[in-house]
Structure 1
Amino acid sequence: MSHTEDNSAVGVAKHKSSPIGVAMRALTAVTGSDFAQKYGLSEPINRVAYKATETGFKSLGAANRAFKQVSGGDAPARPTVTPKGYFNLNPDDEQAMIAETVHDFSTNILRPAAYEADKNAQAPEDIVKRSAELGITMINVPEEFDGAASERGVVTNALVAEAMAYGDMGLALPLLAPSGVATTLTNFGSDGQQKTYLPDFAGEDVPMSAVVIAEPRPLFDAFDLQTKAVKSPSGYKLNGVKSFVPCAGSAELFIVGATLEGRPALFIVESDTKGLSVEADPHMGLRAAGMGRLILDNVSVPAHALLGEESGEKAAEAYADVVRLSRLGWSALAAGTGKAMLDYVVPYVNEREAFGEPISNRQAVAFMVATMATEVDSIRLVTLRGASRAEQGLPFARETALARKLTIDKGLQIGLDGVQLLGGHGFTKEHPVERWYRDLRGAGIGEGIVVL
């Protein structure tokens, strides 16, 4: 049996000598000698060695490969681009048209009226009527009831809410609230409830209405309601106080959140129901929405007033989805107002001069604007991702939680930075940024109203 020599161990196999290798060994020996150390030659020799080896490596590299020039003439090779259904933020033609129409309406109609509406804590009636002509509510009513909804449109609703809030969030709330009621009835209402109420949401005379969940207490938890519903011989009795109700004094219909048998549920309550009363409740922000409180004192509603006419787990699941869709709605509103803030601030810092130059040349200002832009996009992207998943019937609770967190933290920061960048002007009502700051604060605590 022959023995094969093992040359794989480190240092066993001998390498071929090269001119650069020989030179390096010689220079290393010289630089390490007592002679070089004594006369200070080590450093100069090292520099010579480095330059020599650098040139040598370059020469060797150039000599190792020879490229043959080939004349072309055909089309260059390119990888194919194939749609694969990845997350796509580009709206289709219909969505783009709707969003553009709403954007024009909010910019040309809502924004000029926002100052007076905020001052009076009331949405002008003519604007409410004009908004009905846009057909915002109709797109959430099924075709069977003369609406335009052939499929679930959560993404479209998010784009609409964003575009509406670009003009003014306070005015957007009462204009979008009926659409939230129509969406809730379409997605979770029973056949009888849809036939009773949805036809009125398909025309131009849309009833003022709202989904009401919030309650006036610290650390409010939408899944731990103090408003109670108990069964009665004729249906249910509701007791409690609800807040954050837009146009409360003129609303005709409410969908109210209450605890039933230990679980949250939603009830349809008409405004003329005995025991129901409304109080004005102006807020720091969102004043144009004409916010009020809904007081329910032994309000009796029939059995078919329970949304979906199903109690227990089914009612609780519907309630949870409504809350999540509403939170996405608030985030869409925050994205729209945040974009308005950004678009207002950028020209200001570019035109405002200090010490002979635009303040946007200052690094601190530029960084603040860049951060605002990043935060606006973060809110918008997470919101649209959640909306797209909801539209496809996929779980979207995680995306909703992220969007809400960003709205609470970053939405408020966008408002603060907008006021800060305008300096003393940001603190006055001459510019809308102080109102947008107040509205963005409200977006982080609102529940109900806008349901996508």
Structure 2
Amino acid sequence: MSLISNLRPGGKFGIPSQESRDPIGHLVAGLNRLAQSDLLDKVGLRKQTEQAVFTVTRSGFKTLTATSRAFARSGRKDAPGTRPASAPASGVFDLTPTEDEQMLVDVVGELAGEVLRPAAAAADKECAAPDTVLKSGLEVGLPILGLPESLGGIAEERSAMAGTLVAEALAHGDMGLAVAALAPGSVATAIGLWGTEAQQQTYLPAFTGDEVPAAALALNEPTVLFDVLDPATTAVRRGDGYVLNGTKSLVARGEHAELFIVGAALEGKPVLFLLESSTPGLSIVADPGMGVRAASMTRLELTDVTVPADAVLGATDGSTYTECVRLSRLAWCALAVGTGQAVLDYVTPYVKEREAFGEPIAHRQSVAFMVANIAIELQAMRLLTYRAASRAAAGKDFGKQVALARRLCAEKGMQIGNDGVQLLGGHGFVKEHPVERWYRDLRAVGVMEGTVLV
């Protein structure tokens, strides 16, 4: 047992804390509860009444400081935090998921197909993820997936591979909802990877409890020719803290978030900072895009935002920031693979059933070759992504591998979305079919930085 020793206690998808089971027992129980959940009958069938509608397409919104819980300071400031152990390397180039990883993917895949997919169209229209969908993600333990058991998580070793598989499975349901569900866990994973003992004991208990806060990773900026490794947002030392100024864009569910990880340049080096939403000088503005709309993208405007010295997450030499960027790009590659697979799974039966001139259009070579090309490129994207994830999980350098994966997924992912629309013809252009939404989502892979990581 290397990955899953328990699932989040309680909830329709969780396991009671008193029960003691092996991994198979946990996941079988999770699947049973998923199948029996009345949540599946509700998602997408009625408008959200428990969440204010985030109608950014019409007027947007702006808030000065969001209401935030008081994170109780704890732990020693200068003590190193707990780190997850690297996954053992067998030396064999085998990217087959382990038994534990496959069982986890089965549970998340069921969740994506039965909960995310039915809610996707309405969530895209409203630019908001339903509370029911977000709650389902919490119940299967998404926020603690990347945390070791010693910090209240479910992993016994670094889980970059598991996180990649989960992101892919969720994106097969819907990329926007996947981003919304994964955003809090991305912040928790980052604190688990690079946080000090004080940072971990201050913030992580909230993510492992019953009331998980919304949180977001903010690296992207709305500038021309933006280079994520050279942020325009600045951090200046002042007294015993830092003053942040700048703008961060494409921040998932920023209007609800209580904690952000913000990237800024400090003395010429990119650095990560922990920023609570109640900090004076922080304002949040709607930042909708053409795709990934269900994630309720926002923009953070930082005007003389003062944070304490212990708000720095990880090293100040740029190494932590660079690793964060790489893990984020790995997550986006996984999301592209999952959405690309959704396109392939949808167009394959469509071209076999759709008839023109008395025969299925799949009989045309141009159509058959286009579907085959989607399958070929998708397998290449998956192979490169898994290769990068396996090296990250083993604690090896994966910069080259993730760069190759990102390049391929950005280009071929967009091509898969375009071909999916083309194969459906006029049907691909209308919202009656989900392919046009997947096309818009896949275009985000080449421009998104941060937001989620594995």
Please tell me the TM-score bracket, short chain as reference: 0.7 to 0.9
User: Which residue pairs with 1:277 in the alignment?
Assistant: 283
Show CA shifts across 1:322-348 (max 9, x none): 000000100000000000000000000
Task: Single out whichever of 211-220 and 268-277 deviates more from structure 2.
Answer: 211-220
Alignment of 1:399 with 2:401, yes or no, is: yes
Total equivalences in the alignment:
366
Shift of 1:204: 3.5
Q: CA deviation at 1:84?
A: 6.8
- SS at structure 1 position matched to 2:142: coil
**Paired residue type of 1:165:** A
Runs of 5+ unmatched residues, structure 1? 1-82
d(CA) in 2 for partners of 1:149, 1:195: 18
For residue 346 of structure 1, give the secondary structure of its aligned residue in structure 2.
Answer: helix
Output aligned runs, 1:86-125, within 5 Å. Answer: 86-125=92-131
Measured in 2, the distance between the counterparts of 1:85 and 1:380 equals 20
Counterpart position of 2:198: 192
Equivalent residue, structure 1, for 2:332: 330
- Corresponding residue number in structure 2 for 1:80: none
- Tell me how far 1:85 sits from its aligned partner: 3.8
How far apart are the structure 2 equivalents of 1:444 and 1:380? 16
Structure number with greater Rg is 1
Residue 431 of structure 1: aligned partner:
433
SS at match of 1:140: coil
Which one of the candidate residues 202, 208, 215 is aligned to 1:209?
A: 215
Kindly report which structure 2 residues correspond to 1:19-168, keeping only aligned pairs within 5 A, or say none: 85-168=91-174
Q: Counterpart in 1 of 2:57?
A: none
Is 1:245 aligned to 2:251, yes or no? yes
TM-aligned CA deviation for residue 443 of structure 1: 1.6
* Alignment gaps of 5+ in structure 2: 1-88
Q: What's 2:382 paired with?
A: 380
Report deviation, 1:150. Answer: 1.7
Q: Relative to structure 1, is the Cα distance of residues 375 and 232 closer, same or farther in structure 2, using a 3 angstrom cutoff?
A: same
1:127, distance to aligned residue in structure 2 (A): 1.3
Q: CA deviation at 1:356?
A: 1.0
Deviations 1:219-240 (A, max 9, x none): 2110111000000113000000
- What is the aligned counterpart of 1:301 among 287, 297, 307? 307
- Please tell me the residue identity of whatever aligns with 1:88: D
Partner of 1:224: 230
Give TM-score, length-normalised by structure 2.
0.79
Q: Judge conservation of contact 1:245–1:449 (CA < 8 Å) in 2.
A: yes
Distance 2:381 2:362 in 1: 24
Name the SS for the 1:268 alignment partner.
strand
User: Which residue matches 1:317?
Assistant: 319
Give 1:65's aligned residue: none
Q: Deviations over 1:153-212 (max 9, x none)?
A: 000000000000000001110100111111111111111111111111113321111111
Higher-RCO chain (CA-CA 8 Å, sequence separation at least 6)? 2
2:367 alignment counterpart: 365
Distance 1:248 1:210 in 2: 7
Deviates more, 1:187-196 or 1:335-344: 187-196
Please tell me the residue identity of whatever aligns with 2:146. N
TM-score, normalised to structure 1's length? 0.80
The aligned counterpart of 1:5 is none
What is the percentage of aligned positions where both structures have the same residue?
55
CA contact (8 A) 1:135 1:204 kept: no
1:379: Cα distance to partner?
1.0
Name the structure 2 match of 1:76: none
Kindly provide the amino acid, as one letter, of the partner of residue 447 in structure 1: E
Is the 1:213–1:257 Cα contact (8 Å) retained in structure 2? yes
CA distance in 2: counterparts of 1:361 and 1:207, whole angstroms:
52
Q: CA deviation at 1:254?
A: 0.3
SS across alignment from 1:141:
coil
Spell out, residue by residue over 1:125-176, the C-alpha distance to the aligned partner (whole angstroms, 9 max, x if none).
1211121001012222222232222210000000000000000001110100
- Looking at structure 1, the residues matched to 390 and 325 of structure 2 have their Cα atoms a distance apart, in angstroms, of 16
The match for 2:423 among 421, 434, 438 is: 421
- Secondary structure of residue in 2 paired with 1:87: coil
SS in 2 for 1:422: helix
Q: What is the distance in 2 between the residues matched to 1:210 and 1:427? A: 32
- Contact 1:138–1:202, Cα closer than 8 Å, also in 2: yes
- Work out whether residues 352 and 358 of structure 1, in 8 Å CA contact, stay in contact via their aligned partners in 2: yes
Residue 344 of structure 2 aligns to which amino acid in structure 1? L
Residue type at the aligned position of 1:317: S
Alpha-carbon distance in structure 2 between the residues aligned to 1:142 and 1:394 = 19
Distance 1:407 1:85 in 2: 26
Letter in 2 for 1:135: G
SS of equivalent to 1:207: coil
1:129 maps to amino acid: K
Q: What letter is aligned with 1:148?
A: I
